[in-house]
Every structure is written in C-alpha cells, then in structure tokens.
Amino acid sequence: MSDTVYLAYDYPVLGAFLTALWVFLWVLWVFLLFRIVVDVFRDDDLGGWAKAAWLIFVLVLPFLGVFVYVCVRGGSMGRREARHAKAQRADFDDYVRRTAGSGGSADELAKLAEMKREGHLTEEEFQRAKEKILS
C-alpha cells in the first residue's frame, strides 16, 4: 500500500499549455463571432433581408458562416469600422461645440469685464449685464 501522492503527474505541463491554448482560441472565436454580428447590424449597405440571412447563416452554421463572411465581406469590415469611428468622433466634436458654445456666458462675461476695465461701463451697468447673462 503506497500512500505516495503525485500532484502534477495527471496534468503535465503540455496539458496545461493545451488547455490554455483551447481557452484562448475559444475566447478569440467568441470575439470574432461578436464582431461579425455587430458588423452585420452596423452595415448600412445591407438590407433587412440580407442582414437576417447573414445572421441566420452565422448563428446556424457558425464555423462555415464566419469563414464565408470573413472571405466575402472581411475586406470592408475595417473600412466600415473606420467610417463608424469617424462618425462617432464628428458627433462627439459637434456635441462639445454645441455644449461649450451654448450661452457663451464665459466669453460674454470676459467681454463685460474688459469693457468695465476700459471704462465703458459703470459698476451698476456691469452688475446688471452680468446678472442678465447668468440668469
């Protein structure tokens, strides 16, 4: 009766490496599948039926569907992603311009302070104009 316990004997280093490799490939596969589904929905050139067909093809026969999608439409995935990123950046820049430019109270207050400093406005006129801008 041997009570010797071999901790690493049943799971050698190569087994650990292959398990890590399979987990990595599975995560890569899920990421690729997710990117393709997002690309199908994001594409404005495809009609509704074409989107539905690609989605069914990718979900029913995932390996073949992803392979065919990447072969057929993979070249333009990068262009669509770049176009979407440019549109997002333009929308964000427009939002910042509208938000920063709305009211323009900081610029108007700076102009009022300059006019007061130059002597064009009295203290009473400055306070009235400042209250009007801030309200």
Every domain of the chain and the residues it spans: 1-102, 103-135
The torsion angle over the Cα atoms of residues 101, 102, 104 and 105, rounded to 10 degrees, is: -140
For the chain, the residue count is 135
Exposed/middle/buried for 100, CB within 10 Å: 0-12, 13-18, 19+?
A: exposed
d(CA 22, CA 16) in angstroms, rounded, equals 10
Residues above pLDDT 70, as percent of the chain: 90
pLDDT tens figures, 60-75: 998 899 999 999 998 8
pLDDT of 51 over the 70 cut: yes
Residues 6+ apart with CB under 8 A from 69: 36, 40, 54, 57, 58
DSSP secondary-structure letter at 101? H
pLDDT of 1 over the 60 cut: no
At residue 7 the predicted structure's pLDDT band, cuts being 50, 70 and 90, is low
Amino acid identity, position 20: A
DSSP secondary-structure letter at 4? -
Higher pLDDT among residues 4 and 33, named by residue? 33
| DSSP helix/strand/coil, 12 | coil
What are the helix and strand counts (H, E) for the chain?
6, 0
Q: What is the pTM of this model?
A: 0.57
